Chains A and B, each alone.
Chain A
Amino acid sequence: MNATDGLAVRDLAVNYGPVRALRGVSLEVPRGDVVAVLGGNGAGKSTLLRAISATLRFQRGGISAGEITFGGARLSGTAAAAVVAKGVVQVPEGRRVFARMTVEENLRAGALGVRDRRGTAKARDRVLALFPVLAERAGQRAGLLSGGEQQMLAIGRALMARPKALLLDEPTLGLAPMMATRIAETIREINAQGTSVLLVEQNAALALALASRAYVLEVGEVVLSGPAAELAASDEVRRRYLGITADEVTGRPAVTRPSLSRWSA
């Protein structure tokens, strides 16, 4: 695992005006890996992705310390378009497809950050092979697609820029379990084709199954990190993110008193 090879975040601090959203966050996405970031609402997961994609300014935020690099080149301090050009592309939370544009136009918009006609044609073939439904719906307005189809379009749109690293912000949020499984399979497939993935999820079980490494964010700080399998087995994560109480973990019969832990499901 070479630190300069993949995506690296070092001692990152992010402020929204006077509010500090992240502090001292460091993480790494080695090339070809899937890395998950877990955490509840407001933990700073989306802020982290915004910092990497250089779109904090849309929320009136900014990086106050630390740096982000990809393949050794600095991403922090550059423009959003430069981040895309370097091969780091984000699929935003809530899909955010261009609802008034057609599916085909959405895919086209995804390729606007790179100027490479032949590459774009190849990327389109790859996306349509991955999501055949997008070819069927090419002329339809994106706003008329189902939630799952919109998520496929959002991922496909990002893939049009032929990213080396794909950032996914809660890709299964609000999807039916079947569709969530389908998206998870797709993420695995995208990764198998050579794209690194940084996956932000509240669905910890799904994220830990996909990832090789995971980080847990809480109130803007990394509180836990390690190999995904290890985290999945740890009592802390099982209790907080997998909805398994400590009693179940240790195999003792569940006590009748309900758990009041804030994170339990």
Chain B
Amino acid sequence: MITFLELLANGISIGALYSLIALGFVVIFKATEVVNFAHASLLLAGGFVVAKLHPLIGFWPALAAGIAGAAAVGALIEFVIIRRANVTSHSVLAIVTIGVDIVLVTELTRQIGTDVLALGDPWGDQVVHLGPVAIAQTRIMALLAAGILIGSFLLAFKHTGWGVAMRATAEDHETAALMGIRLGRVSLGAWAVAGALAAVAALFLCVFPTPGLDRSTTFAAIKAFPAAILGGLDSTTGALVGGLVVGITEAMMSGYQNQLSFLGRGIGDAAPFLIMTIVLLIRPAGLFGTRELSRV
């Protein structure tokens, strides 16, 4: 039972991070109808900036720089490529983002090399005991940070002019333009927000008990794809639920893999994709989605 609770706590915490990544993914899709396969590179870019800057300027300024850096990379991709690409189909743009991702990730992993970069976070490897349940302090911080970010994002999405513009654009581009909403700005904002959220997720994916930032960090972003898709690609609620489902499933499958040994080793990594496939078989638009993937 204690193992179960610990796994659940870890799953929720990791899941909250997947939710952060998936949320950015969904925001981009809603604003521009582009499936952003370059999301992993945004994440890696954010983490890389933090890793490189924290010895020079300290952790918190480095974190701010990492968030700004990832937001800038996102905005740059939108401004330089997505906005200018004069293609009829959004699927083509999705493939373009795969190319962008390969270029960025290749360059960043070349910079990182074989190192494992520490991010210089102040939490270290302390463990908090809640009764018999032991949880790493970093996991609690991750859950807190993700919760605060997701909460403020949803409030902004619901109540600010920016949120109304985003939702109007998501629902009907042309009519939004008729209202004088600047679609370019909405799209730029979406990419920047997605980058910023990914950078925060990168930080918490690279702290204890993970050794640090290395080339495998992008795999975490890849697990956020099934989170976004099983929740429904155009639903913010879906991104949150999907992230948690993926996080908890992964933690449970990895934690109990000795009992699940008939499924083979490493089932935890494959589990998110299994769940996604099952969900899509039953609900083709995802749990909360309104658009089927065939329309992507």
Q: Please report A residues at the B interface, Cβ cutoff 8 Å.
A: 53, 55, 58, 60, 79-81, 83-85, 89-90, 92, 96, 98-101, 105, 108-110, 112-114, 157-158, 161
- CB of A145, distance to nearest CB on chain B (Å): 15
B180-A113 in contact (CB<8A): yes
- CB of A144, distance to nearest CB on chain B (Å): 15
Whole-angstrom distance between the alpha carbons of A55 and B172 in the complex?
A: 13
Given A98-B171, A105-B167, A112-B168, 17 more contacts at CB 8 Å? A79-B182, A80-B177, A81-B181, A83-B180, A84-B178, A84-B179, A85-B180, A96-B174, A96-B175, A98-B172, A100-B171, A101-B168, A105-B164, A109-B168, A112-B161, A113-B180, A113-B181
Closest chain B residue to A113, Cβ basis: B180
- B165 interfacial contact with A, CB 8 Å: yes
- CB of B136, distance to nearest CB on chain A (Å): 40
- B100 interfacial contact with A, CB 8 Å: no
Instruction: Tell me the B144-170 residues at the A interface (CB within 8 Å).
Output: 161, 164-165, 167-168
B175-A98 in contact (CB<8A): yes
Question: What are 7 inter-chain pairs, A to B, with CB distance below 8 A?
Answer: A53-B178, A55-B178, A58-B173, A98-B168, A100-B167, A109-B179, A112-B161
Whole-angstrom distance between the alpha carbons of A161 and B172 in the complex?
A: 18
Task: Collect the chain B residues with CB atoms within 8 Å of residue A81's CB.
Answer: 177, 180-182
Task: Collect the chain A residues with CB atoms within 8 Å of residue B168's CB.
Answer: 98, 101, 109, 112
- B94 interfacial contact with A, CB 8 Å: no
- B176 interfacial contact with A, CB 8 Å: yes
- CB of B39, distance to nearest CB on chain A (Å): 25
B180-A84 in contact (CB<8A): yes
- CB of B188, distance to nearest CB on chain A (Å): 14
Closest chain A residue to B172, Cβ basis: A96
A108-B178 in contact (CB<8A): no
Task: Collect the chain B residues with CB atoms within 8 Å of residue A90's CB.
Answer: 178
Q: Among A55, A85, A98, which residue has its beta carbon within 8 angstroms of that of B177?
A: A55
Whole-angstrom distance between the alpha carbons of A79 and B181 in the complex?
A: 10
B180-A114 in contact (CB<8A): yes
Q: Among B161, B178, B182, which residue has its beta carbon within 8 angstroms of that of A92?
A: B178
Task: Collect the chain A residues with CB atoms within 8 Å of residue B171's CB.
Answer: 98-101
Whole-angstrom distance between the alpha carbons of A100 and B172 in the complex?
A: 11
Whole-angstrom distance between the alpha carbons of A113 and B169 in the complex?
A: 13
Most buried by A among B168, B177, B179: B179
B161-A108 in contact (CB<8A): yes
Whole-angstrom distance between the alpha carbons of A101 and B181 in the complex?
A: 16
- CB of A226, distance to nearest CB on chain B (Å): 30
Most buried by B among A58, A112, A114, A157: A112
Whole-angstrom distance between the alpha carbons of A101 and B167 in the complex?
A: 8
Whole-angstrom distance between the alpha carbons of A108 and B180 in the complex?
A: 12
With A98-B168, A100-B167, A105-B167 known to touch, is A110 a contact of B179 (CB < 8 Å)?
yes
Task: Collect the chain A residues with CB atoms within 8 Å of residue B172's CB.
Answer: 96, 98
With A109-B165, A112-B164 known to touch, is A80 a contact of B178 (CB < 8 Å)?
yes
A112-B179 in contact (CB<8A): yes
B178-A112 in contact (CB<8A): no
Q: Interface readout for B166-205 with A: 1 if CB under 8 Å, 0 if not?
A: 0110011111111111100000000000000000000000
A112-B180 in contact (CB<8A): yes
A89-B178 in contact (CB<8A): yes
Task: Collect the chain A residues with CB atoms within 8 Å of residue B174's CB.
Answer: 55, 58, 92, 96
Task: Collect the chain A residues with CB atoms within 8 Å of residue B161's CB.
Answer: 108, 112
- CB of B190, distance to nearest CB on chain A (Å): 16
Whole-angstrom distance between the alpha carbons of A161 and B179 in the complex?
A: 8
Most buried by B among A53, A58, A81, A92: A81
- CB of A236, distance to nearest CB on chain B (Å): 33
Q: Interface readout for B3-46 with A: 1 if CB under 8 Å, 0 if not?
A: 00000000000000000000000000000000000000000000
Whole-angstrom distance between the alpha carbons of A161 and B182 in the complex?
A: 14
Whole-angstrom distance between the alpha carbons of A110 and B161 in the complex?
A: 11
- CB of B267, distance to nearest CB on chain A (Å): 38
With A55-B174, A98-B175 known to touch, is A108 a contact of B164 (CB < 8 Å)?
yes
Whole-angstrom distance between the alpha carbons of A28 and B176 in the complex?
A: 26
B181-A109 in contact (CB<8A): yes
